[in-house]
Amino acid sequence: MSTDIETQSTQGDIAAIKKVVAIAEHAQNNELPDEFLSLFRHDAIWTTGGGKRLYGLDAIATFTRQVLPGGAVRCG
């Protein structure tokens, strides 16, 4: 059985995850690389939709700035 504190913590975690997903979705739908990149730490690891693994914010930023602007046109 969970306690009130555990339930509150879980609800807080879920709310935080939903916020990150909303920011990522907004950034990608509106082609805003800087907003998208604000979600990553300097030591992040990101796997692209194509399966390429990127290590570190610099690599993620380089990739994102190449593909995010105009990505909706290429995919749509």
Structure tokens at 46: 């990101």
Instruction: Tell me the percentage of the chain whose pLDDT exceeds 70.
Output: 87
Model confidence at 8, pLDDT cuts 50, 70, 90, reads confident
Q: Which residues form the domain of 52?
A: 4-75
Mean pLDDT computed over 37-62: 96
Distance CA 70, CA 66 (A): 9
- What predicted TM-score, i.e. pTM, was given to this entire model? 0.75
Task: Indicate the number of domains in the chain.
Answer: 1
The gap between the terminal CA atoms of the chain, to the nearest Å, is: 47
CATH number, position 20 = 3.10.450.50
Give tens-digit pLDDT for 39-49: 999 999 999 98
The neighbour count for residue 27, using CB atoms within 10 Å, is: 19
Give just the sign of the alpha carbon dihedral 17, 22, 25, 30: negative
Distance CA 62, CA 33 (A): 10
